[in-house]
Amino acid sequence: MKSNTIGYSSVPISPSVDAVGVDDRIDRIQKRSIKNESKKEGLPLILSMIDLTTLEGQDTELKVKQLCSKAIRLHDAAPELPTVAAVCVYPALVKVAKTALAGTSINVASVATYFPSGQADIKVKLADVKHAVGEGADEIDMVISRGKFHQGEYNYVFDEIAQVKEACGKARLKVILETGEIGNLDAIRKASDIAIYAGADFIKTSTGKIPKAASLPVTCVMLEAIRDYYFKTGIMVGMKPAGGISKSKLALAYLVLVKETLGVNWLTNEWFRFGASSLANDVLMQYMKLKTGYYQSPDYFSID
């Protein structure tokens, strides 16, 4: 890969992260009591921000069709609820999802760049992206080369993201840092800055394929990188925590963090997403509890 030192030179020196301050802020957010009226507003918003996902080696066309059906019919019990934001699949199944979701506002997202390891030549990664886009993907979730990042080859990481962004064409690009492998909060801030300046439309925590997935402290650091970039350039960048978010209470805490760090303009699925399929059912259960006063059985909701 040709090194683009001019491109990487545009990335400012990342500030050191006050880990104690971050933990204190998150602790205070999690201790807050969220009233029912706020939940009634927050739960539909969370549902609209979810990317329903199936990323397994055993995925079949039928499984993807079932997931798309769930995405379309998820709010049947409460028609006033919005649909989810997207369905995320492997490139080979994009066309299946695109056909199943035709006529809806639900996007098709696709992982690419040799997800989840990122261990492939750039030509292979770009071919993967172009195939997914050619099949109809509206969004691409790429994973960075963590090995190159750990070797200090930041030019390579920057250039790779920039080339993938170009290959995306009109599709929006989410850049997965795999924060559980990146290291401490200072390293996560640096990786966030590289991704943002290289052209990411979203930055994303995790692939969901390792135990260390999304967390509020990590998301806080990434949101602050987005905030600082916005203050400097006026350009909005989205955020997607993924993995380990299965309960509405935790998702509401993420929304509080987003609002207090970036403001209400980011509280739409254009700029914030949850990569958490199991979260959708919990949102429905909690919403119906607020609406009816009773919890419904989990068996009443699709587990696809």
Secondary structure, 3-state, 2-17: CCCHHHHHCCCCCCCC
Angstrom distance (rounded) from CA 274 to CA 239: 9
- Which pLDDT score, from 0 to 100, does residue 4 have? 43
- Which pLDDT score, from 0 to 100, does residue 300 have? 63
- Which pLDDT score, from 0 to 100, does residue 3 have? 39
To the query of whether residue 141 is one of the catalytic residues in this protein, the response is: yes
Residue 250: pLDDT band with limits 50, 70, 90? very high
- 168 is a domain residue: yes
**Average of per-residue pLDDT across 106-111:** 98
- Which pLDDT score, from 0 to 100, does residue 42 have? 97
- 217 is a domain residue: yes
**Average of per-residue pLDDT across 18-37:** 95
- Which pLDDT score, from 0 to 100, does residue 78 have? 86
Q: How many domains does the chain have?
A: 1
Question: Which of the two residues, 280 and 5, has the higher pLDDT score?
Answer: 280
Helix, strand, coil percent content, the chain, rounded in steps of 5: 50, 10, 35
Residue 119, pLDDT > 70, answer: yes
Residue 2: pLDDT band with limits 50, 70, 90? very low
Residue 189, pLDDT > 90, answer: yes
- 7 is a domain residue: no
Angstrom distance (rounded) from CA 111 to CA 101: 18
The closest of 147, 174, 168 to 274, measured between CA atoms, is 174
> What does the mean pLDDT of the chain come to?
94
Residue 76: pLDDT band with limits 50, 70, 90? confident
- Which pLDDT score, from 0 to 100, does residue 302 have? 65
**Average of per-residue pLDDT across 269-293:** 92
Full domain range(s) for residue 29: 16-300
- Which pLDDT score, from 0 to 100, does residue 301 have? 65
Angstrom distance (rounded) from CA 112 to CA 144: 10
- 22 is a domain residue: yes
Instruction: Please pick, among 141, 159, 201, 282, the residue that the annotation labels catalytic.
Output: 141
- Which pLDDT score, from 0 to 100, does residue 298 have? 67
**Average of per-residue pLDDT across 238-267:** 97
Residue 5: pLDDT band with limits 50, 70, 90? very low
CA 198 to chain centre: 17
E strand or H helix at 86, and its extent? strand 86-89
Q: What is the pLDDT of residues 230-248, one digit of tens each?
A: 999 999 999 999 999 999 9
Side chain identity at residue 36, one-letter code: N
- Which pLDDT score, from 0 to 100, does residue 172 have? 98
**Average of per-residue pLDDT across 271-276:** 95
Residue 143, pLDDT > 60, answer: yes
Residue 215, pLDDT > 70, answer: yes
- 10 is a domain residue: no
- Which pLDDT score, from 0 to 100, does residue 295 have? 75
- Which pLDDT score, from 0 to 100, does residue 292 have? 86
- Which pLDDT score, from 0 to 100, does residue 75 have? 77
To the query of whether residue 240 is one of the catalytic residues in this protein, the response is: yes
The CATH number that applies at residue 228 is 3.20.20.70
**Average of per-residue pLDDT across 52-69:** 96
pTM of the model: 0.94
- 230 is a domain residue: yes
Residue 16, pLDDT > 50, answer: yes
- 205 is a domain residue: yes
Angstrom distance (rounded) from CA 106 to CA 53: 13
- 2 is a domain residue: no
